[in-house]
């Protein structure tokens, strides 16, 4: 396979990122790829925030993966800055070939470079392969993740 590049997402990548987010058992019901304005506005909010690092993995000019890294300073754990990984997606025809590992390894190294001493993420409990995947990369499944959607 040709070389992989992991780089900051541009506005021109938004449609490809949304397609990746939607091409997923859980994402299919959550996303609305036919509403690009919503995602363009969200992209603008992301790039306006220096704590957010939305990246794509590109191979042969195509976006084949994405993730978002958020850097969060805080007081707990001796003033630890932590990073949170969200929205990890790998294109269908790249799955099982190591791109997920490359993305997470990149995110961990980038977190260290940005001053984080702790990396965290949550994964839907129904993603049964994810636990093994993250544990193999050294993550510890020590926490329960709670969500509360806010209605109108």
Interface residues with a second copy (CB under 8 A)?
14, 17-18, 21, 27, 30-32, 35, 38-39, 41-43, 45-46, 48-49, 51-52, 54, 68, 70, 72-81, 84, 86-87, 108, 111-112, 116-125, 130-131, 134-135, 137-150
DSSP string, 29-90: HH--TT-HHHHHHHHHHHHT-TTEEEEEEEETTEEEEEEEEEEE--SHHHH--EEEEEEEEE
Name residues whose C-beta falls within 8 Å of residue 36's C-beta, 6 or more positions apart in sequence: 14, 15, 18
Between 44 and 97, name the residue whose CB sits nearer to a second copy. 44
Q: Report the nearest approach of a second copy to the CB of residue 2 (Å).
A: 26
Residue 38 CB, nearest approach to a second copy (Å):
5
Minimum CB–partner distance for residue 70 and a second copy (Å): 5
């Amino acid at each position: 396979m040709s070389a992989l590049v992991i780089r900051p997402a541009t506005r021109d990548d938004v449609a490809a990122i949304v397609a990746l987010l939607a091409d997923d058992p859980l994402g299919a019901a959550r996303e609305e790829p036919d509403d690009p304005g919503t995602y363009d506005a969200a992209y603008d909010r992301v790039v306006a925030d220096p704590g957010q690092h939305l990246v794509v993995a590109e191979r042969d000019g195509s976006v084949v993966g994405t993730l978002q890294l958020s850097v969060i300073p805080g007081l707990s754990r001796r003033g630890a800055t932590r990073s949170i990984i969200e929205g990890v997606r790998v294109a269908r025809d790249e799955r099982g070939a190591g791109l997920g590992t490359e993305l997470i390894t990149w995110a961990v190294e980038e977190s260290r470079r940005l001053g984080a001493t702790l990396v965290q993420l949550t994964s839907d409990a129904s993603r049964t392969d994810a636990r093994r995947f993250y544990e193999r990369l050294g993550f510890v499944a020590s926490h329960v993740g709670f969500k509360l959607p806010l209605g109108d």
